[in-house]
């Protein structure tokens, strides 16, 4: 088990920061740092509410798919090679980036939003956030 307030680790490309805020009653989050903008301008990715292992995997796989398919992040863009099974993730622009310590605040941040077990996303009224809170920006 990984403990501590923050964990920085390197996947095959980006550095990823994991911030555990559960002692504060808030969901943990993880974000990339110094992610290249290939293609297009530089950006960063973030996930919220996932356990550390899943958060790191989701970020790493999203980076790989975006770069492999030469995709630029965009509002509502769906990625189909991040989660196992038939589930897709969606990107949403993060409006408040003040919690991303050490990251370049000038870069846009994109939240990777995962669906519930029925395929609903947090902005859908049928979304079930039982045990998996994903605050939206």
Has residue 124 been placed in a domain? no
Has residue 137 been placed in a domain? no
Higher-pLDDT residue of 31, 122: 31
Closest to 64 in 3D by CA, of 88, 45, 89, 82 = 82
Average pLDDT over residues 82-88: 86
Strand 109-113 and strand 44-48: the pairing is parallel
Distance between CA atoms of 88 and 78, rounded to whole angstroms?
6
4: pLDDT strictly greater than 90: no
Domain holding 61, by residue range, is: 6-113
Percent of residues, the chain, with pLDDT higher than 90: 36
Has residue 94 been placed in a domain? yes
Q: How many structural domains does the chain have?
A: 1
Has residue 103 been placed in a domain? yes
pLDDT tens for each residue of 11-61: 345 788 898 887 888 888 999 988 866 667 889 999 998 888 999 999 999
Higher-pLDDT residue of 73, 36: 73
Residue with tokens 């589930």: 87
Phi first, then psi: what are they for 44, rounded to 5°? Answer: -130, 160
Burial 71-101 (b: 16+ CB within 10 A, else e): eebeeeeebeebbeeeebbbbbebeebeebe
């Amino acid at each position: 088990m990984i403990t501590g307030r923050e964990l920085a680790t390197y996947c095959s490309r980006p550095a990823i920061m994991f911030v555990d805020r559960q002692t504060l009653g808030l969901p943990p989050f993880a974000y990339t740092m110094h992610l290249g903008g290939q293609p297009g301008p530089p950006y960063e990715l973030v996930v919220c509410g996932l356990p550390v292992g899943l958060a790191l995997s989701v970020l790493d796989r999203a980076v790989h798919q975006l770069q492999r398919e030469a995709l630029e992040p965009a509002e509502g863009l769906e990625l189909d090679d991040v989660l196992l099974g038939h589930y897709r993730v969606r990107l949403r622009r993060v409006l408040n980036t003040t919690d991303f310590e050490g990251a370049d605040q000038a870069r846009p941040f994109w939240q990777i939003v995962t669906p519930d077990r029925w395929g609903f996303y947090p902005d859908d009224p049928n979304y079930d956030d039982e045990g998996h809170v994903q605050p939206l920006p």
